[in-house]
Amino acid sequence: MRVTRTAAVTAAAISTLTLAACSTAADPEASSSGDDAATAAPTTASSADVGGTVRLVTHDSFAVPDDVLAAFEAESGIDVELVQPGDAGTLVNQLVLTKDAPLGDVVYGIDNTFASRAVDNGVLAPYAATAPAAADAAAYAVPGAEDLLTAVDYSDVCLNYDLAAFPDGAPTLEELTDSAYSGMVSVTNPATSSPGLAFMLATEAALGDGWLDWWEAMRANDVRVTASWSDTYYTDFSAPNYGGDYPIVLSYASSPPYEVIDGEPTTAAMLDTCFRQVEYAGVLEGAENPAGAQAVVDWLLSDAFQETLPEYMYVYPVSSSAEVPADWAEFAPLATDPYTVDPADIDAHRDEWIADWTATVLD
């Protein structure tokens, strides 16, 4: 039996969600400046105030089962509309560009590579989540933004490889520059893709001052660069479910369970190439329905939603009480020592590093 990914199909089939492309300006009496938001005391959702429409701004990989969404809408009285401007990087850029007339009420999908940009530009309003899993989420808090961003999930961004192409095991990061691996690697652009940015940061953390030399060698070795994760994974990967031309592609440590065919794995993650990625939710400054937005943040931490994350978005839930599929222990282990970069360093050097990467790999 062939196992294929269902999230892209599921996301397209969520008939109860209405995609919104624009929004009207928020009520000025209901909003405050970014500086005020950073210092205001956090609020909590009141069930008496919940209802109406909530526009959830998220990345284009967002997916949730129809019945889980319907149950939340029925219980809360909220109608959820999706606004999906693109990948996580595009998502944050659009939030910044539209902060004076926000795209929605609540955001999900800001990750730790772009979190400081959202915080520094004042697009978020304070909110202290009240769901039981908020205590678990606190372990992944962004320093200085604990009341602005609530962790929802985490994962490891890693190179994945086609087991059939490398029966004796995958090469190391350093070995990929060898001519034996020419034209075998597809990655995503860090300027347009959050996995691409995460992997760029992994190379900087792994290789130190030599990270751009590695990328220059990879360019000479015909590395392919795409605009999005879906292009690299669904189109380029040579794994049996896709049939592309590249046996090594950028994805997640949690991707291999969805490439198991007749009980046998066909792909694996290169766990020595991983960057730990965390995704957050937050109420948007100037939200038209802030109480509803707060309720959505709490719903994203509920086990009903958290337990959908592995199957529908291939990431680990932050909730310690949410169940994870049994086969993840075998086919989706996390890296024991993933690469990390201090958020302050990311904030200080992100644009510089992306510019240097672009000049080295693309120009």
Tokens of 34: 């970014």
Structure tokens at 132: 């039981």
Average pLDDT of the chain? 87
Angle at 70 between CA 66 and CA 74, to 5 degrees: 175
Same domain, residue pair 42 and 144: yes
Does residue 87 belong to any structural domain of this protein? yes
Domain that holds residue 212: 157-275+333-361
CA angle, 86 as apex, 340 and 238 as ends, to 5°? 70
Q: Are residues 26 and 76 in the same domain?
A: yes
Write out the E strands in the chain.
Answer: 18-19, 52-59, 78-86, 106-111, 124-125, 150-162, 185-188, 224-226, 248-252, 267-269, 275-284, 316-317
Question: Is the pLDDT assigned to residue 198 strictly greater than 90?
Answer: yes
Are both 161 and 294 inside the same structural domain?
Answer: no
- What does the alpha-carbon distance between residue 259 and residue 328 come to, in Å, rounded to a whole number? 12
Same domain? 203 vs 304: no
Percent of the chain with pLDDT over 90: 77
29 and 137, same structural domain? yes
| Same domain, yes or no: 252 and 300 | no
337 shares a domain with 253? yes
145 & 292 share domain? yes
The pLDDT of residue 205: 96
The verdict on 118 and 237 lying in the same domain is: no
Q: How confident is the model at residue 45 (pLDDT cuts 50, 70, 90)?
A: low
pLDDT number for residue 114: 87
Domain count, the chain: 2
CATH at residue 216? 3.40.190.10
Structure tokens at 149: 């961003």
Please indicate, yes or no, whether residues 301 and 163 belong to a single structural domain of this protein.
no
Q: Could you tell me if 139 and 281 lie in one domain?
A: yes
